[in-house]
């Protein structure tokens, strides 16, 4: 297997401590570049590493950094997105628990590259333990002079603030996240302006996922070439995949991008539990449309394989579903989540998600009506692409896929007036 970019220290005892981190190459990248390499050169290096955002959308990190106006009269900010709200996703917490200093080092280097003096980590409210570990690591970094004024005596200063969320999925959206940091209700903001132009406290802001920023020290240490040596042409490097559901060995795996989905399920994860048949795979977190077994046949886990409505790499959360499961029930469960998490400010999402959930619940309980599947699809069409933030799409896409791909299960529920499973 290829060299580990992100998880090289996770097996070490006390890997979360500064001592262990420093002993194993920690903060070397920072020492190498801080005050020595021109920030713009660093941005170029990350651009040529072709590192893409790991939060879900896969936007090239270096390009995003490049959008920030270097001469902005307003302070610039970096916010690390540690909200990890996408159901099925549990990779960022591993990076936080096992290697918080790798993330902190990535944040310092990125801040230096972008010209940021204040950075935030926005961590989801449910991550108590993770927040404690990060808090401890941040304290250590301050004490050791990696954070605060005049870092390493090289004239660069950075304040890093850990901000805890209050339990809301939508706060993982970059604009809602900023609202939340500013102390407002976590409603997504209208775009444009984009955060790189007008973000936190109206200053230009870069938001990157934990995994994205954790890859930065490696890229700086080993160079962009080493990073692009792994992965595919459009998807450089490795990615963390969180596999859950009916596999023998669920967990977080670091794999080169372009890795075959089948191999991930059947080899890396030891196949379907109990030797049962595969029914479907949710490939990239709950917002991505479900795939049928035949659709994963030659599927490579890479950004370029993604297409709207089809396979989406998303956050890399692979949920494996075996033959025993009722797809109406799964759809209802997903719909309940999105209805509960809709911030409620825009009409199609607020009303559409709740209506969708009510219908699905009714069908699952045996009270389905003729025409319900068509109605469900039409409601999703009235949500899709019409909401203020992408949560609406995230809610609609999986429902469309399930209704279309498992239509006969819906019809059986309605005809038999009960759940046949």
Partner 1 sequence: MVNLTIDDKKLTVEEGTTILNAALQNGIDIPHLCYHPNLKIRGTCRICLVEIEGMRKLETACSTIVKDGMEVHTRSERVEKARRGVIEFLLINHPLNCPVCDQAGDCDLQRYSRRYGREHSRYGEDKRDFPKHDIGGGLIRNMNLCIACTRCVRFARDILGIEEYGIFFRGNDQQVGIYQGGELKNAMQGCMVDVCPVGALTSKDFRFKKRVWFLDPKPSVCQRCATGCNTFIEVEDNVIYRISPRENQDVNDIWMCDIGRMTYHDMDDVEPVTFPMMKSGDQFFELSWERALEELASEIRERGEKGGFALVIGTGASVEDMASALLAADGNIGEERITFVTRVEDITKEKAAGNFLISEDFSPNTAGAKKLGISDKVKKIEDGINSKDITGILFLGCEIFEAGLPDALDLKKVKFTAVITDRLTTEIKKSAEIVIPAPHWSRKSGTFINSKGILQRIEAAVKPQMGVIPLTKVFADLAAAIDKTSADYDSFYKEVEKRVG
Ligand X SMILES: Cc1cc2nc3c(=O)[nH]c(=O)nc-3n(C[C@H](O)[C@H](O)[C@H](O)COP(=O)(O)O)c2cc1C
d(CA 165, CA 125): 4
Q: Is the dihedral of CA 144, 146, 152, 156 positive or negative?
A: negative
Q: Which residue of 39, 106, 186, 188 would you call a contact of ligand SF4, by CB under 6 A?
A: 188
CA distances from 113 to 61, 66, 77, 118, 156 (A): 12, 10, 12, 13, 11
Encoded one letter per residue, x for contact with ligand SF4 by CB under 6 A and - for no contact, window 7-26 reads --------------------
**Using CB under 6 A, which of the segments 97-105, 159-167, 200-208, 382-390 binds ligand SF4?**
382-390
Sheet holding 205-209, edge to edge: 148-151, 156-164, 118-123, 77-82, 205-209
Partner interacting with residue 264 (select from partner 1, ligand X, ligand SF4, none; CB below 5-8 Å by kind): none
Tell me: does residue 250 bind ligand SF4 (CB under 6 A): no
Q: 165 vs 237, which CB is nearer to partner 1?
A: 165
Tell me: does residue 301 bind ligand SF4 (CB under 6 A): no
Q: Considering the complex, what minimum distance in angstroms separates the CB of residue 184 from ligand SF4?
A: 14
Partner interacting with residue 340 (select from ligand SF4, partner 1, ligand X, none; CB below 5-8 Å by kind): partner 1
Q: 98 vs 189, which CB is nearer to partner 1?
A: 189
Query: For residues 262 and 297, is the Cβ–Cβ distance under 8 A?
Result: yes
Q: 85 vs 392, which CB is nearer to ligand SF4?
A: 392
Give the residues lining the site for ligand X (CB under 6 A). 53-57, 59, 81, 83-86, 169-170, 172-174, 207-209, 212, 389-391, 394
d(CA 316, CA 238): 11
Encoded one letter per residue, x for contact with ligand SF4 by CB under 6 A and - for no contact, window 317-356 reads -------------------------xxxxx--xx------
Query: For residues 396 and 354, is the Cβ–Cβ distance under 8 A?
Result: no
How does 127-165 read in b/e, with b if 16+ C-beta sit within 10 Å? Answer: beebbebbeebbebbbebebbeeebeeeebebebebbbb
Tell me: does residue 396 bind ligand SF4 (CB under 6 A): no
d(CA 92, CA 82): 7
Q: Considering the complex, what minimum distance in angstroms separates the CB of residue 174 from partner 1?
A: 17
d(CA 169, CA 343): 9
The dihedral formed by the CA atoms of 293, 341, 242 and 206, expressed in degrees to the nearest 10: 120
Query: Residue with the closest Cβ to ligand SF4?
Result: 349
Site of interaction with ligand SF4 (CB under 6 A): 170, 188, 342-346, 349-350, 387-389, 391-392
């Amino acid at each position: 297997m290829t060299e580990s970019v992100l998880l090289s220290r996770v097996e070490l005892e006390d890997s979360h401590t500064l001592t262990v981190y420093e002993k194993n190459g920690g903060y070397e990248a920072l020492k190498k570049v801080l005050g020595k390499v021109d920030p713009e050169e660093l941005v170029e290096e990350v651009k040529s590493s072709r590192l893409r955002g790991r939060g879900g959308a896969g936007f090239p990190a270096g390009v995003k950094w490049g959008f920030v106006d270097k001469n902005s009269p307003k302070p610039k900010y970096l916010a690390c997105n540690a909200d990890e709200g996408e159901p099925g996703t549990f990779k960022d917490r591993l990076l936080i628990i096992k290697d918080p200093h790798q993330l902190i080092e990535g944040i310092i280097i990125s801040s230096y590259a972008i010209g940021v003096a204040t950075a935030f980590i926005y961590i989801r409210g449910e991550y108590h333990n993770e927040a404690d570990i990060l808090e401890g690591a941040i304290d250590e970094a301050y004490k050791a002079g990696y954070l605060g004024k005049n870092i390493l005596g090289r004239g660069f200063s950075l304040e890093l603030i850990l901000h805890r969320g209050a339990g809301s999925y939508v706060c993982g959206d970059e604009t809602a996240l900023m609202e939340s940091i500013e102390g407002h209700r976590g409603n997504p903001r209208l775009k444009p302006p984009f955060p790189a132009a007008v973000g936190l406290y109206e200053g230009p802001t870069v938001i990157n996922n934990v995994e994205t920023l954790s890859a930065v020290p490696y890229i700086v240490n080993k160079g962009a070439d080493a990073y692009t040596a792994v992965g595919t042409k459009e998807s450089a490097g490795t990615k963390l995949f969180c596999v859950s559901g009916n596999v023998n060995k669920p967990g977080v795996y670091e794999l080169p991008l372009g890795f075959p989905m089948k191999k991930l399920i059947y080899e890396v994860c030891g196949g379907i539990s109990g030797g049962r048949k595969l029914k479907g795979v949710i490939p990239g977190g709950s917002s991505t449309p479900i795939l049928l077994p035949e659709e994963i046949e030659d599927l490579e886990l890479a950004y370029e394989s993604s297409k709207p409505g089809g396979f989406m790499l998303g956050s890399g959360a692979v949920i494996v579903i075996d033959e025993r499961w009722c797809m109406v029930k799964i759809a209802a469960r997903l719909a309940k989540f999105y209805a509960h998490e809709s911030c409620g400010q825009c009409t199609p999402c607020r009303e559409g998600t709740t209506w969708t959930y009510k219908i699905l619940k009714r069908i699952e309980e045996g009270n389905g009506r003729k025409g319900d599947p068509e109605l469900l699809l039409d409601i999703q069409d009235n949500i899709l692409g019409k909401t203020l933030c992408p949560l609406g799409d995230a809610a609609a896409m999986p429902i469309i896929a399930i209704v279309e791909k498992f239509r006969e299960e819906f019809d059986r529920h309605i005809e038999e007036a009960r759940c046949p499973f």
